Structure 1
């Protein structure tokens, strides 16, 4: 049963992560691995929430459990997209530039 649960988590997380990347994140420069990891992690969180709520795991495809995993995965992918928007802005100095220099300016 544990193997089936892990496979469901992977399948749901990767599917939602790929869909989020194809439909939204691709246009906002979000890496595919970010949406996949957040989707898988959030689907795992959905499994934990379903277990805490007492949803039975007696059938491999229990509708409520799968729905909770999918909803959490969608929220996780949305979080990945929001976090990548914030982290994508150029900062003075940046990771490659020297401290104190502004990006885009020519040295005097």
Structure 2
């Protein structure tokens, strides 16, 4: 992978992660690094899911693929936030 590909993956992953956080109500207690990780994973898995559903190759912007990626990012952020909140509660007891 070239530097430009890595940079592009980080930008897209951050964007997808932030959009995933925006669609969730309330405040999430995860940092920017976790948002980047969840967003990048959601972008990759979302592309695979969109390809499997046959909606990844359209003319122009692939809005359905973006929707799948953001939905997966929202699920990932919610799951990670819940897991981190649960581990914080166990440590304080």
How much has 1:46 moved relative to structure 2?
1.0
Question: Relative contact order (C-alpha < 8 Å, sep 6+): which is higher?
Answer: 2
The structure that has the greater radius of gyration is 1
Over aligned residues, Cα RMSD in angstroms? 3.1
Q: Describe the shift of the 1:8–1:61 C-alpha distance in structure 2 as closer, same or farther (beyond 3 A).
A: farther
Please list every run of 5 or more consecutive structure 1 residues that lacks an aligned counterpart in the other structure: 93-108
Moved over 6 A (4+): none
Distance 2:10 2:51 in 1: 14
Summarize the alignment of residues 88-103 of structure 1 with structure 2, pairs less than 5 Å apart. 88-89=88-89, 90=91
Aligned to 1:24: 27
**Is residue 85 of structure 1 aligned with residue 89 of structure 2?**
no
Per-residue CA distance 1:57-100 (angstroms, 9 max, x = gap): 244521111111111111111112111112223167xxxxxxxx
Q: Distance in 2 between matches of 1:58 and 1:47?
A: 13
Q: Which runs of 5+ in 2 are unaligned?
A: none
**How many residues align structurally?**
84
Does the C-alpha gap of structure 1 residues 35 and 8 become closer, same or farther in structure 2, counting only changes over 3 Å? closer
For normalisation by structure 1, the TM-score amounts to: 0.58
